Chain A
Amino acid sequence: MKLLDSTDSGNSSSIERTQYPYVTGTSVIGIKYKDGILMAADMGASYGSTLRYKSVERVKPVGKHSLIGASGEISDFQEILRSLDELILYDNMWDDGNSLGPKEVHNYLTRMMYNRRNKFDPLWNSLVLGGVKNGQKYLGMVSMIGVHFEDNHVATGFGNHLARPILRDEWHENLTFEDGVKLLEKCMRVLLYRDRSAVNKLQIAKITEEGVTVSQPYALKTFWNFNAFQNPTAGAEGSW
């Protein structure tokens, strides 16, 4: 049951609102690097704790200058993409040489998320938004209730706990593309090991002044032959 809201006191209106998510994606990580922004997310989507979908693209370009990554409810993310597409379309229809940059899109998203939480009907996502326009790099995020900020590196969900400490240690302004990808892969590997909803199939997206490229899905090299991984229940009597 997704759509129940019986908490309205004395109000018998049958407005249906999302009170919890169905199919969710896990962490997204975004960093600034020398020439722009890099973003990484795996392609899994879970139905509760079942890994239900394995080829879900969670990082997408928005117009010419921005890149969005999402964790949380996949359907809500797709709805967000739909409305951003509309936003960009209307923006292009002016055909006057002006275009919305990452800062504008981030702010628009923030208003959208906050507006939905005000209606007690949130979009169940944490969003990362990055981009480059006129030589300015931009990276920010928004939560499902409208909390938002900018930073040099951001992460959602488990990434906030497992990846950001690594990023705080190792991130610096002049990361090359290669070093940036390596850093993201390091973070994604840690997440893969420790986050049960993470899958070993990920995409890395890059945005620079030149434009957006989203990589083909690929897997990370992993090593599972640690003792604790091989026999995790050793010493735990009665468990299987």
Chain B
Amino acid sequence: MTKQHQNWSPYDNNGGTCVAIAGADYCVVAADTRAVGCISPFTGAVRQKLGMLRVISHLGMFGGELSRADKSLMASSGFQADVRALQKVLAARHLIYQHQHNKQMSCPAMAQLLSNTLYYKRFFPYYAFNVLGGLDTEGKGCVFTYDAVGSYERVGYSSQGSGATLITPFLDNQLKSPSPLLLPAKDAVTPLSESEAIDLVKTCFASATERDIYTGDKLEIVVINADGIRREYMELRKD
């Protein structure tokens, strides 16, 4: 007879989808608040809804309110415990940066820091799939997209997480980003206006929620532009 004990894995996938779109003078970052998983290994591999989680981090000190000074936003999916640990490491590093330089880290700098932080755990990775959005030093929208071990690229838009397979092709079709192979390089930012981009994000999530069981409940959208930063919510299917 085989042994009747439970085994354990250091990882879980708590699902979740994130999207970020960069415009000429704005950036929209969005993620759903659903978290799914098996909270205890005693009842087998039945996965279920755990609760509502905010997964967009403005990399302030371990949370807190959005601030006008915020320059980057990270939306994450994957293993919640790793995501939280990653957010906390970045928040602490960002704080140290602010103490040393008397300013907020720029979004491209944060992008490099995130890559280094992920790669630092290359052989026991953070199971976290992130998009980082914000304004670059010229005030232009920027989006950086990552894999779990830190490879990253600056793009005009991106989607990560459980619903990415549904959303990415749709964004490809709608945003018609110029090929990164073109020479001379073309700007990757999307031609949409801010409100059009927000509507597009809402459509993406409403659709992804229809088919992806790991996405749903509520959508959190954070928009960053020259005027500042704001957050809004949209209800998604709860089933």
Interface residues of A, Cβ cutoff 8 Å to B: 19-21, 24, 26, 48-49, 71-72, 110, 114, 117-118, 120, 122, 124, 126, 141, 143-151, 154, 156-158, 160-161
Min CB–CB distance A65 → chain B (angstroms):
20
Q: Return B181 CB to nearest CB of chain A, in Å.
A: 40
**B123 partner residues in chain A, CB cutoff 8 A:** none
B8 in complex: contacting residue of A71, A114, A144, A157, CB < 8 Å: A144
Contact in complex: B43, A160 (CB < 8 Å): yes
Please give, as numbers and ranges, the residues of chain B lying within 8 Å of A161 by CB-CB distance. 43, 46, 48
30 CB < 8 A contacts A-B: A20-B5, A20-B6, A20-B8, A24-B42, A49-B4, A71-B40, A110-B84, A114-B85, A117-B81, A118-B10, A120-B10, A122-B8, A126-B40, A143-B12, A144-B8, A144-B40, A145-B10, A145-B11, A146-B84, A147-B12, A147-B79, A147-B81, A148-B80, A148-B81, A148-B84, A149-B50, A149-B80, A156-B39, A157-B42, A157-B43
Smallest CB gap from B6: residue in A:
A20
Q: Distance (Å) between the CB of B15 and the closest chain A CB? A: 12
Residues of chain A lying within 8 A (CB to CB) of residue B39: 126, 141, 143, 147, 156, 160
**Which interface residue of A20, A48, A71 has the most chain B CB atoms within 10 A?**
A20
* Contact (A20, B7) CB under 8 Å given A147-B81, A151-B51: yes
Bound: A160/B4 CA distance, A: 22
Residues of A within 8 A of B124 (CB): 118
State A48–B4 Cα separation when bound (angstroms): 8
Q: Mark B11-44, 1 if CB is under 8 A from A, else 0.
A: 1101000000000000000000001010111110
- Minimal beta-carbon separation of A45 from chain B (angstroms): 13
* Additional A-B contact list (10), CB under 8 Å, known A118-B10, A122-B10, A147-B80: A20-B8, A21-B6, A49-B4, A117-B81, A118-B124, A145-B9, A145-B12, A149-B51, A151-B51, A161-B46
Q: Residue of B at shortest CB range from A151?
A: B51
* Interchain CB contact under 8 A, A147 and B10: no
- Across the two chains, which residue of chain B brings its CB closest to A122? B8
CB of A42 to closest CB in B, whole Å: 14
Which residue of A21, A114, A126, A156 is within 8 Å of B81 (Cβ)?
A114
Which of A24, A148, A150, A160 contacts B48 (CB under 8 A)?
A160
Chain A residue numbers with a CB within 8 Å of B5 are 20-21
Whether A143 pairs with B40 at a CB distance below 8 angstroms is: yes
Residues of chain B within 8 A of A160, CB atoms compared: 39-40, 43, 48
CA distance A156 to B52 in the complex (A): 16
Please report the C-alpha to C-alpha distance between residue A158 and residue B8 in the assembled complex, in whole angstroms: 17
A146 to B11, CA, bound (A): 10
Shortest A79–chain B CB gap in Å is 17
- Bound form: Cα–Cα A36–B200 in Å: 42
Closest to B37 in A: A147
> What is the CA–CA distance of A145 and B85 in the complex, to the nearest angstrom?
12
Given A71-B42, A114-B85, A157-B42, are A147 and B14 also a contact pair (CB < 8 Å)?
A: yes
Which residues on the B side are within 8 Å of A158 (C-beta)?
Answer: 42-43
CA distance A41 to B52 in the complex (A): 24
Task: Say yes or no: A146 contacts B81, CB within 8 Å.
Answer: yes
B53 close to A (CB within 8 Å): yes
Nearest 7 Cβ contacts at the A-B interface: A146-B81, A20-B5, A126-B40, A149-B51, A151-B51, A157-B42, A157-B40
Q: Which listed residue (A71, A110, A117, A141) contacts B10, Cβ 8 A?
A: A117
Whether A150 contacts B41 by the Cβ 8 Å rule is: no
Distance of A5 from chain B, by nearest CB (Å)? 12
Please give the distance in Å from A194's CB to the nearest CB on chain B. Answer: 11
A69 CB, nearest partner CB in chain B, Å: 13
Residues of B65-85 at the interface with A, using a CB-CB cut-off of 8 Å, are: 79-81, 84-85
Known: A71-B42, A114-B85. A145 touches B8 (CB 8 A): yes
| CB interface residues, B 137-178, toward A, < 8 Å | none
User: In the complex the two chains form, what is the Cα distance from A143 to B79 in whole Å?
Assistant: 12
| Neighbouring B residues of A49 by C-beta, 8 Å | 4
